[in-house]
Amino acid sequence: MGTLTTAEPALRSAPVEDRAAQSAEVEIIINAAAGLEDKAALRARLEKIFKARRLQARVCVAQSGAELVKLTRRVAEGPTQIVVAGGGDGTVNAVASVLVGTDKALGILPLGTLNHFAKDLRLPLDLEAAAETIISGHVRTVDVGDVNGRVFLNNSSLGLYPSIVRQRKKQQRQGYNKWLAAVWAALVVFKRYPFMSVRLNVDGQEFKRRTPFVFVSNNVYEMDGFQTGARLRLDAGLLCLHVTHKTGRWRLVALGLRALFGRLREAKDFDSLCAREVFVETRRKRLRVATDGEIDIIETPLHYRVRPCALRVLVPEKAVTSAE
């Protein structure tokens, strides 16, 4: 099992009409847990920014993931063409999941800790600059991944990572901060050192592996140097599957350290395949699966597929130009 490339040409996205310039209003949905700023002050600040450009911003604050989805569905049924997600990757995923396949455009205010999707879109992380991107209204279509009907913008995984996230949230509920909880969770999970046997069908090619994790990304992550963990394209129409073949606990620790310092070695550290469709089967009827950092219990087999150019996103003008 090595790197597999497809013979078909990659899909290219194209800029479309400037929706923001045509719309007099913007719907903004903020995650109450995102950012450090007081939400009442944030609401007033955003309304002022958009009003200065003669756009009405209606700002809603969601107290939970379920409310995020509920608010987005309500807004998506209305005439407003621009729906903005304010928060981290989980918030953006929740809003985008509703907008996928529609003519609505997603705007992003990156208020989270990591903001992976925003960074890969080359969005500014400053609030006012991000708002200006939304106001300018340059639209680009990008791919999304899908696993058994659940959308992911960045990646999905099973095995080690969902277990670590579950343990981290448990530690956070006990009062630990996010990063200390993450370190403790990783130690707990590595101590157990869980393995799973999987049967993979990758664009019709079948493989069997015993591995501590399976990782599927929406498009291809860079695996070397300063760009490690970034995606140069979000419109290639591909998923990328990574399965480690490391068999020792300390080898996995070394793998994590190399990832941290941008020194991953694709052929030696893991197997990597690019595809449009992946099936994952195990002996278990249900698996804990991470999608953009959120954990769900999903029935097997897992069916991963790419949905090419299914999401319309507001990006800086230079990002649209580079995609042409």
Name the band, by pLDDT with cuts 50, 70 and 90, for residue 268.
low
What is the reported pLDDT for 246?
Answer: 59
| Cα-based distances in Å from 97 to 89, 93, 112, 221, 254 | 12, 6, 18, 21, 35
- pTM of the full predicted structure? 0.85
- Tokens 């621009």 appear where? 82
Residue 202: pLDDT over 50: yes
Mean pLDDT of the region 246-268: 57
Q: H helices within the chain, ranges in order? A: 19-22, 39-51, 65-76, 89-99, 116-120, 127-136, 160-173, 178-192, 249-260, 266-269, 317-323
Interatomic CA distance for residues 186 and 190, integer angstroms: 6
Lowest mean pLDDT among 1-10, 16-25, 51-60, 121-130: 1-10
Please tell me which residue, 238 or 228, carries the higher pLDDT value.
238
Tell me the domains of the chain and their CATH numbers: 19-136 (3.40.50.10330), 151-308 (2.60.200.40)
